Amino acid sequence: MAGLISMNLDVSKLPKEKFVKGKKGVYYNFTIAINDDTKYGNNVSMFDAQTQEERKAGKPKQYLGNGKVFWNNGSIVNAEKEAQPTEVSAEGDLF
């Protein structure tokens, strides 16, 4: 484990139309920013995740809450998308 963050979320600010029903529950997409500076003892902000269209249109971010990194081991790295395995049929053709 590389780090732990404590967050406070104002659930009344979550737009109901952005909830997504999945196979195992109801989900909501957030964007979390870890800042280099601290303000009022916090260095983490949570926002409503924006679509590419919302970003291009210049729609302002919807601030949802704040928090702080309270522990890390100094080796937090950026997440990279993992390569998806390729399925191959018995004849060697790709599906």
Helix ranges restricted to H, the chain:
52-56
| Domain contains 94 | no
Q: Evaluate whether 77 touches 22 at the Cβ level (below 8 Å).
A: no
pLDDT at 69 > cutoff 80: yes
What CA dihedral angle connects 42, 47, 3 and 78, to 10 degrees? Answer: -130
Q: Tell how strand 30-39 and strand 25-27 pair up.
A: unpaired
User: How would residue 7 be classed by pLDDT, with cut points 50, 70 and 90?
Assistant: very high
Structural domain contains residue 77: no
Residue 83 lies in a domain: no
> What is the model's pTM?
0.69
Would residue 45 count as lying in a domain?
Answer: yes
Task: Report the distance separating Cα 71 and Cα 69, nearest Å.
Answer: 6
37 found inside a domain: yes
Cβ(77)–Cβ(11) below 8 Å: no
Residue 67, in any domain of the structure? yes
Domains contained in the chain, number: 1
Structural domain contains residue 90: no
Confidence label for 80 from pLDDT (cuts 50, 70 and 90): confident
Query: Is 52 inside a domain boundary?
Result: yes
Residue 10: give the domain boundaries: 3-71
